Amino acid sequence: MSSFSIHGIGVSSGIAIGHAHLVSNALLEVVHYQLPEQLVGNEIARFSDAVLIVKKDLETIRGTLSKNAPAELGAFINTHLMILSDKSLSEVPKDIIRKERCNAEWAIKQQMDDIVEQFDAIEDEYLRERKHDVVQVVERVIKVLLGHPSQAPNQTNKIQQQESVTILVAHDISPADAIQFKQHHFAAFITDVGGITSHTAILARSLNIPSIVALQRARDLINDGELIIVDGSLGVVIVNPSKDILAEYELRQNQWMLEQQKLKRIKSAKAVTMDGTTIDLYANIEVPEDVDAVKASGATGIGLYRTEFLFMNKREMPDEEEQFQAYKKVAEAMHGLPVTIRTLDLGADKQMNPDSVSECANPALGLRAVRLCLSEPQIFHTQLRAMLRASHYGNIKILIPMLSTLAELRQTKLLLERAKLSLRKQSIAFEENIALGGMIEVPAAAINAEAFAKELDFLSIGTNDLIQYTLAIDRTDDAVAHLYNPLHPSVLKLISITIKAGAKLGKSVAVCGEMAGDAKLTRLLIGMGLRQLSMHPSNILSVKQQVLHSQITKLNSDARKVLGLSDLEKIEPLVAKFNLL
């Protein structure tokens, strides 16, 4: 087998060496493992139980449909029940388990792939599209199976060991899929498409595993099981490496791991510059379980809790109680440290239900974030009530995404007051003076930052979207990814305007976009006047190292020089020069 390399965009640094695992189009990816002969019977029983659970769930849903429910809903459920009862899904996977001695998740996934392939060969478009119903039914079964682990002794450890040398290779991974990977221990993942700040890339960084996007044809060129090297720092994938290259990368991998270990020495150190200025280093999270990583990183608070991931991979909106419990869990776990919760930011590349993705010519410019919330006041009301209730259990702040007009802000404040009033009437405790902040991620908001600062308690700059909208670049599109640059003079000027607006009115300003976690930009941001940076927990220590070796007076001078330039080609080398330790 000949060795070759593929180049893409590295979105999460580090080196991974492992075997390729091609990701199918199924929503939930599963890992293959073998079972000892004596446990095959137990695995078949586990599969049968999962099918029975899904069947009962569907029958329960059908039984709770109101008389006024559209007839299509009942027909939809009946179709899924019929598919589930078919022997090709209810019996054939058992034969696969017996024959291959494999786990149930893998068996039903293999059968699903075969069925989907048969559907793809059908000429009739309507019948061909029915494959999606099969995929949805299988996903339900797999989700149940993942909630009921195999009875094999120590099987969890074995799976984790296999996953730790498994590299996922996909055409694309949606944020909804990627959020599922948090429960796994994959070595890396690589995709054909995507940009450096697509939400999939952001989640890759939160998983703290090497990842590369925009590889174009990786999934076509790489075979399942092939040994590959992923260099997330250089954005290079090496397929079937020679012995010499493999040895060299094993050495590099060990050196990288040693550097990560060294950084842990400063975990308990306060983020204070050499001349005594404290910089607040906060963490970004997606789900309550991320709090463990926040604590391990030494972060002094949560600067961005992306609540939309609570809504993803679900057929129905989470109710107020479910949301309240999630927010409360995070607030209590942080023991009084600040927790900034962003209201729902669905839309663009983040959809709640993968089966009902709304069609929009330009989703990034469409009905998303606060626009969506204001158009769905009942959903917004439910979330605001849940946040307010949770504020009684910790230091919670509310953050509104993608504000572009003062009218949007004032309408939001009215809805917040309405939520407070409804809780008062029920005598439910909450923090009356809860802080309300706004995200500056639209150029219109940055230019008008002073007006927003007058009506808000704090500002938070979302650099990912701010760069996208300023430079007219779709941050999920690898075709224009090379044009995405946080050091563009227009972007820096908008950030500077926002920082000055906050300073003038005595309102704190943070950066919670990917710029905050880029250690190469830390000194520039501090020099521009920022004192709060929020990032993925995995980036806290590298950013803190930059803070500890910085002097504010020099950084202020360096930042002024950068802001005085209008040529990107002059800005980049200047930032690189004064950024060296």
Neighbours of 359 (CB within 10 A): 6
In this structure, what are the phi and psi dihedrals at residue 509, rounded to the nearest 5 degrees? -130, 130
Distance between CA atoms of 387 and 68, rounded to whole angstroms?
33
Q: What is the largest CA-CA distance in the chain?
A: 73
Structure tokens at 397: 């702040």
Distance between CA atoms of 232 and 14, rounded to whole angstroms?
5
User: Among residues 396, 507, 531, 398, which one has the least CA distance to residue 449?
Assistant: 507
In this structure, what are the phi and psi dihedrals at residue 330, rounded to the nearest 5 degrees? -70, -45
Structure tokens at 503: 């300073």
Pick the catalytic residue from 21, 80, 373, 512.
Answer: 512
Q: How far apart are the first and last CA of the chain?
A: 43
User: Among residues 164, 167, 177, which one has the least CA distance to residue 211?
Assistant: 167
Active site residue 102: no
How remote is the C-alpha of 472 from its chain's centroid? 23
Q: Which amino acid is it at 282?
A: Y
Structure tokens at 537: 């927990």
Q: Note whether 253 and 261 are within 8 A (CB).
A: no
Q: Which long-range contacts (CB under 8 A, 24 or more apart) does 48-56 make?
A: 48/94, 49/148, 50/104, 50/141, 50/144, 50/145, 50/148, 51/84, 51/89, 51/90, 51/141, 53/144, 54/84, 54/137, 54/140, 54/141, 54/144, 55/81, 55/84, 55/85
Active site residue 360: no
Pick the catalytic residue from 21, 199, 373, 536.
Answer: 199
Helix or strand holding residue 560 (H, E): helix 552-563
Location of structure tokens 């709090």: 291
Structure tokens at 410: 């004032």
Distance between CA atoms of 5 and 21, rounded to whole angstroms?
17
Give catalytic residues, as residue numbers.
Answer: 199, 512
